[in-house]
Amino acid sequence: MIRKVLIVDDDQIWLRLIKKKFENFSESFETVTAIDGMEAVQKLKERAISLVVTDLQMPHMDGLTLLAHLSEQYPDIPVIIMTAYSSPNSKKSVLDGGAAGYIEKPFVVEDLAEKIKATLEKESEGGTLQTVPLDMFIQLIEMEQKTCTIRIRNKATGKQGVLFFNNGNFMEARYHDLQGTEAAYKIFAWDKVTLSIQDDCTIKEKRIEGDLQAILFDAIRMKDEATGDSTVDEAPPQTLMGSIDLSPEEVLDTAPNEALPQALMESDDLPMEADMDTAPPPPEPFRAPADQIRDRIASHMGQVKGINDIYRDSSWDNLLAHTASLGQFFDAGSLKSAFIAKGDTNDYIILPGKPTTVVAVGTDCPRDRLLNLLNE
């Protein structure tokens, strides 16, 4: 993956010159330019930038203001400061302000290119993974309590995002100009991705709301809802008797060819009048899966408070499939149910099936007892 380097300087002739010279390093990085800090901020919103090289003296927004903006909004992006007005104090000031490097004008273009390459190499020290299950990988990051910055590239679209973890805690997500939970939802919905892992995290205070598992489940569910509609309980299949809307007695009194096929009329399996008393009882009425679960709960637990609804919903199918595959990965056995803590009016118990059966429960529901029953 060719990373993008943003060069910021108000000297447009110099910008065109250095962009031309940096074409010799196109295998290592791609050059993007901006004429001041304001344009740089916009370029950062529009594309994934891996490194910024900026002049200090610029109109509208100078290099130090841009450095402060990057430290706050894009703390993972390293910055190299270039200036023609160098002094020991100014160098110390920009390095203390968060800059990764410093170079004095005039300089040899190859020297700046080598400084850029060396800085970018640090980004890939953790390694790169191709086409991995993103949800499974980040849950391993959480379990292993790893500190890292993960850059994710969507292989289908080329779009990129960043996730931040500190001791396994999900600290922040960024995708273009989105941050926090909204950015995480976008990233977690991607299927085939490439991951680049950097073994540190510049964010020390948690900026994202919510638990990783809840955000992950919500992201997968929202993705599924965008590609399919909910499915209601299936109606009972119609029998031949029901399809012609006749009672058994009316069927026996009906002449051939009016209601039943001739082959069926000739069958030895039809009950004769003498056998009517010994005919097998009719099959039990069809019960939809949601009704079966209601009956089961009622027979074992009686009237249970806090069960707000039971229904079938195909938008959960892929989420359960992901969860089941994760359980298989950790050799945890087959999936019987999953509990989704939303923290809203309802939480959800979801049960495997085609489509998934959902039990919406409130805070006053005896959830542990209910889960034990449903997992039997």
pLDDT tens-place string over residues 326-368: 666 556 677 888 888 766 678 888 888 777 888 888 888 888 8
- Confirm whether 222 is domain-assigned: yes
- Assess whether 104 and 76 both reside in one domain: yes
Nearest to 322 by CA among 198, 207, 188: 188
| Rounded CA separation 144/371 (Å) | 28
Q: What is the CA radius of gyration of the chain?
A: 32
Report the SS3 class of residue 367. helix
Residue 74 within a domain: yes
Provide the whole-model pTM: 0.50
Could you tell me if 119 and 132 lie in one domain?
no
Query: Which of 91, 123, 155 is a domain's end point?
Result: 123
Q: Is the same domain home to 157 and 87? A: no
Average pLDDT estimate for 166-171: 92
Looking at 96, 123, 150, the residue that finishes a domain is 123
Residue type, 125: E
Beta-carbon contacts of residue 175 (< 8 Å; ≥ 6 apart): 159, 160, 161, 162, 183, 186, 187
Q: Looking at residues 130-146, what average pLDDT do you find? A: 76
- E strands along 278-344, which residues? 307-313, 338-340
| 100-133 pLDDT tens trace | 778 888 888 899 999 999 888 876 555 555 545 7
Cα–Cα dist 196/132, whole Å: 11
Does residue 164 share a domain with residue 216?
yes
Contacts of 166 (CB under 8 A, 6+ apart): 147, 201, 203, 204, 206
Residue 22 belongs to a domain with what CATH number? 3.40.50.2300
Total domains in the chain come to 4
Q: Please list the residues that pair with 101 across neighbouring strands.
A: 80
Residue 190 sits in the same domain as residue 253: no
Q: Kindly state whether residues 201 and 250 are assigned to the same domain.
A: no
Place of tokens 């304001």: 38
Length of the chain: 376
* Residue 332 belongs to some domain of the structure: yes
CATH number at residue 345: 3.30.450.30
Which domain covers residue 329, as residue numbers? 289-374
Q: Which amino acid makes up residue 219? A: A
- Kindly give the interhelix angle for 212-227 and 317-329, rounded to the nearest 10 degrees: 140
pLDDT band at 194 (very low <50, low <70, confident <90, very high): confident
Same domain, 297 and 258: no
DSSP 3-state of 242:
helix
Instruction: Clarify whether residues 117 and 132 are in a common domain.
Output: no
Instruction: Answer whether residue 117 is part of any domain.
Output: yes
Do both 16 and 110 map to the same domain? yes
In-domain check, residue 283: no
Asked whether residue 87 falls in the same domain as residue 159, the answer is no
Residue 235 lies in a domain: no
Residue pointed to by tokens 């069958």: 267
Last residue within a domain, chosen from 217, 249, 278: 278
Confidence check: pLDDT of 57 > 80: yes
Coil, strand or helix at 200: coil
Residues 247, 163 share a domain = no
Same domain assignment for residues 107 and 204 = no
List pLDDT tens digits, range 229-262: 444 343 343 333 333 343 444 434 444 444 444 4
